[in-house]
Chains A and B, each alone.
Chain A
Amino acid sequence: MRITIFPKTLIFGAIPAFLLAAGASGPAQADFNSCVKGFWPAAKRAGVSWATFEKATAGITLDKEVIESANYQPEYKKPVGEYVDRAISPKRLAKGKEKLVEYGPLLNQIEAKYGVDKHIVLAIWGVESNFGDNKGDKGVIQSLMTLACSGTKAKFARGQIVSALKILQRGDTSHDRMNGSWAGAMGHTQFIPTTYTAYAVDYDGDGRRDIWDTIPDALGSTAAYLKVSKWIPGQTWGYEVKLPKGFNPKRVSEKTYKTLGQWQKMGITRINGQPFPRANDKAQFWAPEGTNGPAFLTLNNFRSLLRYNNAKSYALAVGHLADRLAGYGPFVQPWPTGERRLSMEQRMELQRDLIALGHLEGEVDGIIGSGTLEGIRSYQRAKGLPVDGYPTLTILKMVRAEAPPPPPPALPVQAAPAPQVAPAPRAVPPQAVPQAAQPPQSSQPKSVAEDAVPPAN
């Protein structure tokens, strides 16, 4: 369970002046230290010992990378199709199939115990940390303290810190192993501390709930959490569907519940034309890209995935990756390309052209990251176009017309490396109740005149 960065809903507080000071020393560090200390009362009340608190906070500094990540606003919202494609790259699919063999017996046991489809558990592992390759290597306490004391996502972090300290207090993992993403998502399945506290399990029975270094605990915890999120054993997450001619997806609210039978009466069928099993199950309709891409009817288990991480694109990626791992094929309807979405080849061509025109430096990888976006903006500025950094077909056509012709086709365009999947979107699930968080403090003055402090009234 994770934190989704929804750019439009993120509220950026003013960054305190001390953060702008260079280096992690001097008054900035003093302010940070005193802010960190402000969490002691809440930690103590939660049963954290001074020894644990001191060890956990010793030597931590404001982590600028964390602040940068927290402040990063993607310039454009990635279309669902692009997100899903990236999450299910051929490389990941291959790796997942290997893991399915390697951890087959464990996954079977977990499925038997919690009633959650093993492919789903495996898919979550893949999407969250690329099967443990990308667990995040930032000290969780330092990341959370940085967020809590810097105004960026402070409310979220304040709710996590006491839970994180309790993990160390119980000894589920050690100080040097408790790492995670910049936002404190931890271990193989990227639980945030409050979720961990509520749902992680000690699957291997060694007395520790170790989602960092024990794969059985990590996968068991994922299944346990999905079970609590009301996963129904033996059911799928949803179906790709075929729409009747003339059907306008825009006229159907994504919130509407109908039974599969009722949807079927409206002419919607499974993509292979077969009727739905269990016609009485309640389903919601979702066509992420309108009539131009695949459309879905989503079931109860899709909502369980949303409880796990409240982003539909995430739930779809997990559900589809699970299906692929189970041997089913890709979506029948392709995702749209065009003005709003360039294909991999087109993205690479755009990058090549921007490089040729001197607006971009770096490698051609087909991944529209911040560098490419800045390159597009640079080009737009040079042309007097609206500067939005949006990689459209129009822009591609313009740079193509200007740039020198592409290099001879000997270059293995098709064999381009599968895009590394960006960290999955993260959502703070509504059920995560933050623990008490204490306000930050500023530095402790050596001498205090009583009048310096305002009275309560």
Chain B
Amino acid sequence: MTIRGSGMNSFSRLGFACALGLAALLGEPSGARAADPVTEYKKAVEARFAQWLQGLWPEAEAAGVSRKTFEAQLKGIKLDWSLPQLVPPDPAFPGGPALPAAMKPKPKPQAEFGVPENYFKARSLNALAAGGRAKYKQLAPTLTAIQKEYGVPASIVIAIWGRETGFGQATLPYDAVTAIATQAFMGRRAEEFRPQLIGALKIIELGHSTRAEMKSSWAGAMGHPQFLPGDFEEYAVDFDGDGDRDIWDSVPDALASVGNSLSSQGWDGKQPWAYEVELPKNFDCTRQGPDQSLPIREWIDLGVSRVRGRPFPKERLDDWTFLVLPAGMKGPAFLATTNFSVLKLYNNSDVYAIFVGHVADMVAYNAPVDFVGKWDPVERFTRDRILKFQEILVAQGHDVGKVDGLVGFKTRQTIGKEEKRLGLKLTCYPSHALVNRVLKAAQN
């Protein structure tokens, strides 16, 4: 589930995405005339799109989609130009009309990359935990059965449900086939969406769902658990016993499907999702990240301890865990288990996994927001600036993971290394002092 768009207010990506979508909308003039370059361009791209759709037939056929379904579902569908994360072709096709200036993406100097502090606002954690506790009571028998069957705590399943669709409350405004087809044709991650489009046709072919029911987020994520078609195929289960795997209208099916997806991807029922920890003074924060996993006992040897003086469970000391510092030294620290990695398969973001894990704990233990470490205010950056910073680091031979304007663990590791080299205070989080210095040095 690496390309899901959350129905809930998703951290940074959605905000960014909305800005894009809005820009596209505003770029469209109202009274379009025949000679209008925007209309002309779009017409050319649509023609190309129709052609491209026909080219999918061999793939669809190989996947078991009938010609009838293929024609019925794809005939006449139009690109949804309002979706975020599109990269319209320029020109429309070789020798065709160029992308009109009015449609070119506007520079977005205000697009900020997410600040962990904002992501973990007590208000949103509390709201979700409260909703979760209510559902927990209301659905207790179902949840117990799911927990028994899949070995995934009910609280985790609930937290994901809440995070993804507000317990099924979020409106999913898009037609999944159109959204996925548009993304597969001219989305920023087109390659990833192509097999999903075939998957969507298969769902219809096999009668698991109907086109009308298949509403989705802008990124094609469907139903209560926000599954892409591929997730549906691999992980959806029929839990209410009616013969259908219905993630759209059956809450038991939807929640069991979440449990099944986590369990199939390696959830270990004996481990928590993470342990919040305290680091010794002057700890080297570049030791974070899954590529530097250690057994818990070795972290203890390095002076890492659980918060509130609790001991680690004795029987878990050989578990391999890795250090997660979402805000560098400016926020809580976690030793993440294999389950943390499984959560990240649901949505590839450290803060997502921590958010879901923490809400689950709040539900399970009826506890308030409970981070011991403080999410300190951090300096703000535009995503573009972080992007530029990353590009320079890469040019200097550093590994920053994806160059995407987001601050993942590899970027944080590299920042730590640079801080050490330049003799700055070790934080493993971007600061203007460091970013300016690196950008400036690169100019000379």
Contacts and interface: CB of A to CB of B under 8 A. Distances in A.
B268 interface: yes
What 10 A-B pairs are tightest by C-beta distance, nearest first? Answer: A439-B320, A441-B268, A41-B341, A436-B290, A448-B269, A37-B266, A38-B338, A439-B338, A447-B148, A436-B291
Given A34-B268, A450-B153, A457-B370, A41 B338 contact: yes
Given A38-B266, A42-B290, A445-B151, 9 more contacts: A13-B295, A38-B320, A439-B321, A439-B341, A441-B319, A448-B147, A453-B269, A456-B274, A456-B361
Interface stretch (B84-92, B342-350, B385-393, B428-436): B342-350
A103 interface: no
Contact of B153 (A434, A446, A453, A456): A453
Contact of A450 (B267, B295, B338, B364): B364
Interface string B341-385: 110110010000000011001001101001110000000000000
A249 interface: no
Contact of B320 (A158, A435, A457): A158
A438 B348 contact: no
A442 interface: yes
Contacts of B367: 455, 457
Contacts of A446: 148, 151
B413 to A, nearest CB: 11
Contacts of B294: 155
Contacts, number: 134
Interface of B: 2, 147-148, 151-155, 234, 263, 265-276, 289-291, 293-295, 307-308, 310, 313, 316, 318-322, 334, 337-338, 341-342, 344-345, 348, 357-358, 361, 364-365, 367, 370-372, 399
Contacts of A45: 2, 344-345, 348
Nearest to B334: A456
A278 to B, nearest CB: 30
Contact of B268 (A13, A16, A442, A447): A442
A440 interface: yes
B341 to A, nearest CB: 4
Interface residues of A, number: 40
Interface of A: 13-14, 16, 34, 37-38, 40-42, 44-45, 50, 151, 154-155, 158-159, 433-448, 450, 452-457
A439 B399 contact: no
A265 B272 CA distance: 67
A456 B293 CA distance: 18
Nearest to B361: A455
Nearest to A40: B266
Nearest to A159: B291
B308 A457 contact: yes
Contact of B272 (A159, A433, A441, A453): A453
Nearest to A442: B270
A439 B319 contact: yes
Contact of A437 (B267, B291, B307, B371): B291
B265 A44 contact: yes
Interface centre among A159, A436, A445, A452 (most CB of B within 10 A): A436
B345 A444 contact: no
Contacts of B357: 456
A304 B82 CA distance: 55
Nearest to A444: B151
Contacts of B321: 439
Nearest to A441: B268
Contacts of A41: 265-266, 338, 341-342, 344-345
A48 to B, nearest CB: 12
B311 to A, nearest CB: 10
Contacts of B342: 41
Nearest to A451: B364
Contact of B269 (A16, A433, A444): A444
A415 B30 CA distance: 96
Nearest to B316: A454
A48 B272 CA distance: 26
Given A41-B342, A444-B268, A437 B293 contact: yes
A77 to B, nearest CB: 27
A40 B318 contact: no
B272 A455 contact: yes
A448 B318 contact: no
Nearest to A34: B268
Contacts of A442: 268, 270-271
